[in-house]
Copies of this chain bind each other. A is one copy, B any other.
């Protein structure tokens, strides 16, 4: 690849830039952002070669544009990037939700013809290029969500781009993606925050490893997660409902002191957890 433009150079965009440069995959990485100080952090960390706050200029010579802004802004940034990038460029993104983004992008025929939606499944409760890491995406899944309007050539290039960063590629429709990540990512974030919020600070001295690990991602950025929850509110409401049903089943078993029901409730979860563990790549 020649020039890659990374729009939004925080933890996600910064890690992509670092991986591109560490692996020698791009001739030049251009960082596009709104805040010069953040762009300077990204440059110092080696995530980008040069920086600009002008999106149109930043993407003007790009072979690939990766939009890594918060989900509420991705579609608009993709459309603006498509308007200013060379017509043969690939535009992709890294947003945690896909259906609304894809629908909005596909209202612009030019953008639709250049875009392949993506969601690399890695992140952190921390924000900003200061926490970026070149290996953030190594051995992680990247979901691509092509539609009937996605040009096959762009899809092939998107597979090459994301697997070049170390990702394993999984493909599915945008709506299906959103239903699944509502359970596998957004629900754990909601539970982390629900638990963190339910325990008074006075009681923290009696909290240990289970609480610490279960609440870790509640430290993530408020604006980022408000936007993700809103974008995926339908599937997330469904996932929260399913979780409430499971808690209600536990409460009912406790109310009846039903030993066998409590045992089954736990051991069903335990065997699911064991099958998840068994599937993890060794590096995780």
Chain B residues within 8 Å of A270, by CB: 193, 196, 218-220, 222
**A277 interfacial by beta-carbon distance below 8 Å:** yes
Stretch at the interface among A47-55, A82-90, A231-239: A231-239
Dominant secondary structure at the A interface: helix
Question: With A210-B189, A244-B248, A273-B218 known to touch, is A279 a contact of B205 (CB < 8 Å)?
Answer: yes
**A160 interfacial by beta-carbon distance below 8 Å:** no
Please determine whether A193 and B251 come into contact, CB atoms closer than 8 angstroms: no
Stoichiometry (number of copies): 2
**A130 interfacial by beta-carbon distance below 8 Å:** no
**A57 interfacial by beta-carbon distance below 8 Å:** no
Question: Chain A: how many interface residues by the 8 Å CB criterion?
Answer: 87
Q: Which of B223, B243, B272 contacts A201 (CB 8 A)?
A: B272
Please determine whether B209 and A123 come into contact, CB atoms closer than 8 angstroms: yes
Please determine whether B214 and A213 come into contact, CB atoms closer than 8 angstroms: yes
Please determine whether A222 and B273 come into contact, CB atoms closer than 8 angstroms: no
Interface residues of A (CB under 8 A from B): 121-124, 140-141, 143, 170, 177, 180-181, 183-185, 187-199, 201, 203-220, 222-223, 225-226, 229-230, 233, 236-237, 239-244, 246-248, 250-251, 254-255, 257, 259, 262-263, 265-270, 272-277, 279-280, 284
